[in-house]
Chain A
Amino acid sequence: MEWNMSEQVKGSVLIAGGGIAGMQAALDAANSGFYVYLVERRAAIGGKMAQLDKTFPTNDCAM
Chain B
Amino acid sequence: MSKHPRYVDTEKCIACGLCAEKCPKKVDDEYNEELSKRKAIYIPYPQAVPQKYAIDSDNCLYLKSGKCRACEKFCPAGAINFEDKPETLSLDVGAIVLSPGFTTFDPTGIRTWGYGEFKNVITSMEMERLLSASGPTEGHLIRPADKKEVKRIAFIQCVGSRDLNKSHNGYCSSVCCTYAIKQAMMAKDHVKDLEASIFFMDMRTHGKEFERYYERAKGLGIDFKRCRVHSLEPVKETEDIYFRYIDDRGKQIETQYDMVVLSVGLCTPPSAMELAYHAGVELNEDRFVEFSSFDPVGTSRPGVFSCGAFSGPKDIPQTVMEASAAAADATRLLRSARNSLTRTREFPPELPIDAEPRIGVFICHCGTNIAGVVDVEKVAEYARTLPNVVHVGRNLFTCSQDTQDTIKNIIKEKGLNRVVVAACTPRTHEPLFRETLKAAGLNEYLFDMANIRNQDSWVHAGQPEMATLKAMDLVRMSVAKVGLLSALPGIAVPVNQTGLVIGGGIAGMVSALELADHGFNVFLVEKSNVLGGQARHLYRTWKGEPVEPALHELDARVRSNPLITLCLDSTVAAAEGFVGNFKSTIVGPKASRVVEHGTAIIATGAQGYVPEGEYLFGSSSRVFTAIEFDKLNMMGDRRMKEAKNYVFIQCVGSRCQERMYCSRVCCTHSVQAALELKEKNPDGEVFILYRDMRTYGRREELYRKAREKGVVFINYEAHQKPVVRAVEPRRMEVEVWDHILHEPLRILTDIVVLATAVIPNPATAELADIYKLPIDADGFLQEAHAKLRPVDFAADGIFMAGLAHCPKPVDEAVAQAKAAAGRAISVLSSTSINLEATKATVVEANCDGCAMCLDVCPYKAISLVSVQGTAGKLNSRVEVNLAQCKGCGVCQATCPKDGIFVAGFSLEQISAQVDAALAG
Contacts and interface: CB of A to CB of B under 8 A. Distances in A.
A54 B186 contact: yes
A28 B135 CA distance: 31
A48 B135 contact: no
Contact of A13 (B129, B330, B823): B330
B42 to A, nearest CB: 8
A29 to B, nearest CB: 4
Given A12-B94, A28-B324, A54-B131, A33 B99 contact: no
Contacts of A23: 323
B873 to A, nearest CB: 48
A38 to B, nearest CB: 9
A1 B297 CA distance: 13
Interface in A32-60: 32-35, 37, 39, 41-60
A60 B101 contact: no
Contacts of B135: 53
Nearest to A43: B54
B800 to A, nearest CB: 16
Contact of B97 (A14, A20, A58, A59): A14
Nearest to B271: A41
Nearest to A9: B337
Contacts of A16: 96-100, 275, 279
A49 B94 contact: no
Nearest to B830: A33
A57 B44 CA distance: 27
Contacts of B52: 43
A34 B341 CA distance: 7
B99 A60 contact: no
A59 B42 CA distance: 29
A63 B31 CA distance: 13
A48 B340 CA distance: 33
A29 B316 contact: no
B881 interface: no
A12 B637 CA distance: 55
Contacts of B323: 20-25, 28
B309 to A, nearest CB: 8
B213 A56 contact: yes
B585 to A, nearest CB: 29
Contact of A21 (B31, B44, B322, B341): B322
Interface stretch (B151-159, B176-184, B615-623, B695-703): B176-184
Given A17-B100, A25-B99, A11 B94 contact: yes
B561 to A, nearest CB: 11
A51 B830 CA distance: 35
Interface stretch (B204-212, B228-236, B528-536, B708-716): B204-212
Contacts of B740: none
B327 A25 contact: yes
B777 interface: no
B144 to A, nearest CB: 17
A20 B316 contact: yes
A28 B43 CA distance: 27
Interface string B882-899: 000000000000000000
B706 interface: no
B269 to A, nearest CB: 10
Given A10-B334, A12-B93, A32-B338, A21 B822 contact: no
Nearest to B216: A57
Given A32-B327, A57-B209, A13 B48 contact: no
A19 B101 contact: yes
Given A13-B93, A32-B331, A43-B48, A51 B316 contact: no
Contacts of A58: 209, 786-787
Contacts of A57: 178, 182, 207-210, 212-213, 786
B607 interface: no
Interface centre among B52, B209, B826, by most A CB within 10 Å? B826
Contacts of B823: 28
Contacts of B336: 5, 9
B131 A49 contact: no
A44 B181 CA distance: 29
Nearest to A15: B97
B813 interface: no
A56 B91 CA distance: 38
Contacts of A13: 93-97, 327, 330-331, 334
Given A1-B302, A28-B327, A57-B178, A42 B44 contact: yes
A54 B182 contact: yes
A45 B98 contact: no
B31 A51 contact: yes
B62 interface: no
B6 interface: yes
Interface centre among B139, B181, B327, B334, by most A CB within 10 Å? B327
A6 B805 CA distance: 39
B59 interface: no
Contacts of B210: 56-57
Contacts of A55: 182, 316, 786-787
Contact of B44 (A1, A32, A34, A43): A43
Interface string B294-322: 00000000100001111000001001101
Contacts of A18: 99
Contacts of B309: 21
B47 A56 contact: no
A55 to B, nearest CB: 5
B633 interface: no
B47 A63 contact: yes
B131 A25 contact: no
Contacts of B868: none
B45 A46 contact: yes
Contact of B182 (A10, A56, A63): A56
Given A20-B316, A50-B45, A34 B331 contact: yes
A53 B190 CA distance: 13
A35 B42 CA distance: 30
B49 to A, nearest CB: 5
B6 A43 contact: yes
B261 interface: no
B109 interface: no
B132 interface: yes
Contacts of A28: 323-324, 327-328, 822-823, 825-826
B128 A51 contact: yes
A19 B131 contact: no
Nearest to A58: B786
A30 B327 CA distance: 9
Interface centre among A23, A39, A44, A57, by most B CB within 10 Å? A57
7 contacts: A10-B94, A19-B101, A25-B324, A30-B342, A32-B825, A44-B43, A53-B128
Given A16-B100, A25-B97, 9 more contacts: A10-B334, A11-B334, A16-B99, A21-B308, A21-B309, A34-B337, A56-B178, A57-B786, A59-B182
The 10 A-B pairs with the shortest beta carbon distances in the complex, nearest first, are: A11-B337, A21-B308, A44-B48, A24-B323, A28-B327, A43-B54, A10-B94, A17-B99, A35-B341, A21-B99
Interface of B: 1, 6, 31, 33, 42-45, 47-50, 52, 54, 91-102, 125, 128-129, 131-133, 135, 139, 178-179, 181-182, 185-186, 207-210, 212-213, 271-272, 275, 279, 302, 307-310, 316, 319-320, 322-324, 326-328, 330-331, 333-342, 786-788, 822-823, 825-826, 829-830
Interface of A: 1, 3, 5, 9-35, 37, 39, 41-60, 63
